[in-house]
Amino acid sequence: MTDTTAYKIIDAAEWREAMAEGVYAGSAVDIADGYIHLSTAAQLDETARKHYAGRQNLMLLAVDLAALEGKVVWEESRGGARFPHIYGDLPVSAVTEARPFTVPA
């Protein structure tokens, strides 16, 4: 894939914890699946509506995929779309932007 930036939606409290620890180990779903789920810009709205509808206090992280040194694997998911997955922790140093996020209507 040619995308150099991917996105992660997380709870604001999880982001504060990651900032304090220097890494984000993933949500409960990520940990259960064995990788951290990310989305491309084109996939973001659908991901938000499908998995985060009705949730408050969310953050949107922009992740520099090049900074992850080969830990990103593009894998097929819903409808055959390929999604970036991080196998391992997400270092906060790879996050280029973190901002409050509201799920689109």
More confident residue, 3 or 45: 45
Provide the pLDDT confidence category of residue 2 given band limits of 50, 70 and 90. low
Judged against a pLDDT cut of 90, whether residue 95 lies above it is answered with: yes
Cα first-last separation, the chain: 29
Range of the domain at 48: 33-94
Q: What is the CATH number of the domain that holds 83?
A: 3.20.170.20
- φ, ψ (nearest 5 deg) of residue 38: -125, 165
> Does residue 23 fall inside a structural domain?
no
- Residue 4 burial by Cβ neighbours in a 10 Å radius (0-12, 13-18, 19+): exposed
Give me the number of domains the chain comprises: 1
Q: Are 7 and 52 in contact (CB under 8 A)?
A: no
Of 7-16, 76-85, 86-95, the poorest mean pLDDT is in 76-85
* Phi and psi torsions of 76, nearest 5°: -70, 140
Per-residue pLDDT band for 80 (boundaries 50, 70, 90) equals confident
Q: Could you tell me if residue 5 is inside a domain?
A: no
Cα–Cα distance between 105 and 103 in angstroms, integer? 6
